[in-house]
Amino acid sequence: MGINFKNSQNNDQYRLSIQAYCRPFKQPLHTHHGVWRDRQGIWIQLCPIDEEESNDRGWGEIAPLPGFGSESVTEALQFCQSFGGQITDEQIRSIPDRFPACQFGFESALIDLHNWEAPPNLTQVCGLLPTGKAALDLQLPIWNQGYQTLKWKIAVAEISQELNDFQDLLSMLPDGIKVRLDANGGLTETQAHQWLQACADRPVEFLEQPLGISEFEAMLALSQEYPTPLALDESIATWQQFLNCYHAGWPGVMVVKPAILGFPSRLIEFCQADRVDMVLSSVFETAIARKMLLRLAATLNLQRALGLGTDCWFED
């Protein structure tokens, strides 16, 4: 089951509805970038003007991450409001690259309008553990949800403490469970070596973004020195960064956040022509964007677990 684009290349007009949202996390999310307490974004709905009496509706979600190079929620909201409640296919296709979250949201709504089948129920999903020692709590719901892959954020506390917690975490994992370690670009090169040495012969799927985005060459060298694969995340947050790293010969995994990468059709077209070892990852979007991500994953026929195990972080 893939995505049908056949009706999305016209120049039809749509009634545009906009609704901002704010979802508090159950508990603050700690990463190397800081503490995240709520998720703000925008839901949009498209309704064909010449078919307003029908029930045809297309839903999309705009979930910016300005720290990763996208527009802000305020900028996205102002952009949506600038259309005065109506928008055309041509205007959607002409959304500039400085609004990648809007590109994703509007094209998602257009695709949703013309794809009536429900998205597939993909079970290969990676769960997100709390940061630090909190990940060792066996009472967490995530331990009982059947995940085969778990993600744990590092580079938040002292490395000696995190390495000890890492060993404790591995000793608790059931057989067959893999771990993704995500440093969010927060390690030094020396610390990256320490982590990669600790990962040797352990059930670690990959080490994600060990160094900052300006240290691509150093990460390229690290990827050739250790058996544990490396993955890029912050380094490929924008479409141009994604292209630059791919064409520079990145040999490892690419963790792509579609909700801030731009038009989904552009990613599909690229992946149909070029082989990419890819993980689709969440930006803590709601079920509206998740629906699009599941469709996208099915279209791309990805083999790695999706980075979408974030639902348990919200009350709703």
CA distances, 265 to each of 10, 14, 97, 211, 299 (Å): 15, 20, 14, 30, 10
How far is Cα 69 from Cα 75, in angstroms, rounded to an integer? 13
Provide the CB-side half-sphere exposure for 135 (13 A, CA): 26
pLDDT of 24 reads 85
How confident is the model over 13-27, as pLDDT tens digits? 999 999 999 988 777
How confident is the model over 150-166, as pLDDT tens digits? 999 999 999 999 999 99
As a whole number of Å, the end-to-end CA separation of the chain is 28
| Torsion angle in degrees (nearest 10) through CA of 222, 302, 66, 184 | -30
CA distances, 48 to each of 45, 80, 104, 136, 140 (Å): 10, 17, 19, 50, 45
153 part of the active site: yes
Is the pLDDT reported for residue 7 higher than 80?
A: no
Annotated binding site: 182, 208, 233
Tokens of 269: 């077209």
Q: How confident is the model at residue 203 (pLDDT cuts 50, 70, 90)?
A: very high
Least confident segment among 2-11, 60-69, 114-123: 2-11
Question: Mean pLDDT over residues 250-261, rounded?
Answer: 96
Question: Mean pLDDT over residues 31-38, rounded?
Answer: 75
Kindly name the residue from 151, 153, 178, 291 that is annotated as catalytic. Answer: 153
H helical segments located in the chain: 73-81, 89-93, 100-114, 159-172, 189-199, 216-223, 239-247, 258-261, 264-273, 287-300
Annotated binding site for Mg(2+): 182, 208, 233
How much is the pTM? 0.89
- Domains along the sequence of the chain with CATH: 13-114 (3.30.390.10), 126-313 (3.20.20.120)
Kindly name the residue from 151, 178, 257, 291 that is annotated as catalytic. Answer: 257
